[in-house]
Structure 1
Amino acid sequence: MAKTPAPPKPTAAELDLLRTLWPLGPSTVKQVHEVLLKERPETTYATVLRLMQVMHGKGLLVRDESQRSHVYAPAQAQDSLRTSLLKDLIQKAFAGSGKDLVMAALRGGHVTRKEREEIQKLLNGDKP
């Protein structure tokens, strides 16, 4: 049986754009550009267009060309991509150990007190 190819890994800039697009839902380049301008006023329309075209070519975005303005949407759900990236990180950086990843996050100051409390509730079987 042939193995399905792994989904493409987004660059940091592509991941930023996906984080904008997931809550927006299917959107035109203009709509994405307007949202990005609020965070980074120096972002040009041409840059967003070029990035979205590249992402479409890589298979990170799907494009509906049925209307005059093309509508783009993420090819993968946010949770699915996160899971894929996390598996890759655990394999590459932690030799496959999820425990080592969690311990590194807890030791490295990446988890707030509130997050620690939520994690503890989850470990105790409570709802966070």
Structure 2
Amino acid sequence: MDNYNIKPTEGEMEILQVLWQKGNATVREVHEALNKKDSGYTTTLKLMQILHEKGMVDRDTTQKTHVYKALVSQDKTEKQLVNKMIDNVFNGSAARLVMQALGNHSASAEEIDEIKKYLDSLK
């Protein structure tokens, strides 16, 4: 799917994360992977149906149990959401986003090294 004006909700993003990890999955498999005590199976089913209606997931209905897979790529979805966040929350400043993220979460030494290497590659 090349329509990257997608706007998944938080719940839909959780489902997409499971599908990206598993590849293909039934509603039950996704629901069990989410392991949400406050959410029922029917809520997961409804969100997956909405994702299908939005064109973000495909559904194989040839079997009794429907199998879903993501149609949107994780990389492109993450990039779109980060760009939207940079524009809407950080007034277009990627640097402010990075500083806020690193200031609020402790990064491991390995993560900091990886970030430094990435920044060096941009020069």
TM-score (norm 1): 0.77
The answer to whether 1:119 aligns with 2:103 is no
Alignment of 1:1-128 (within 5 A): 6-36=4-34, 39-106=35-102, 108-114=103-109, 115-125=111-121
AA aligned opposite 2:44? V
Root-mean-square deviation over aligned CA pairs: 2.1
Say which structure, 1 or 2, has more relative contact order (CA 8 Å, 6+ apart): 2
Q: How many corresponding residue pairs?
A: 119
Deviation, structure 1 residue 11: 0.9
Q: Distance in 2 between matches of 1:104 and 1:30?
A: 37
Structure 1 moving runs of 4+ over 6 Å: none
TM-score (norm 2): 0.80
Q: Is the 8 A contact 1:61 1:73 kept in 2?
A: yes
For structure 1, which runs of at least 5 residues remain unmatched after alignment?
Answer: none
Instruction: Report Cα offsets for 1:81-103 as digits up to 9, x if no partner.
Output: 00110111111112222222222
Give percent identity, aligned residues only: 40
Q: Is the 8 A contact 1:63 1:70 kept in 2?
A: yes
For structure 2, which runs of at least 5 residues remain unmatched after alignment?
Answer: none
SS at match of 2:69: strand
Instruction: Report Cα offsets for 1:46-95 as digits up to 9, x if no partner.
Output: 22111111121122222122222221111201111001101111111122
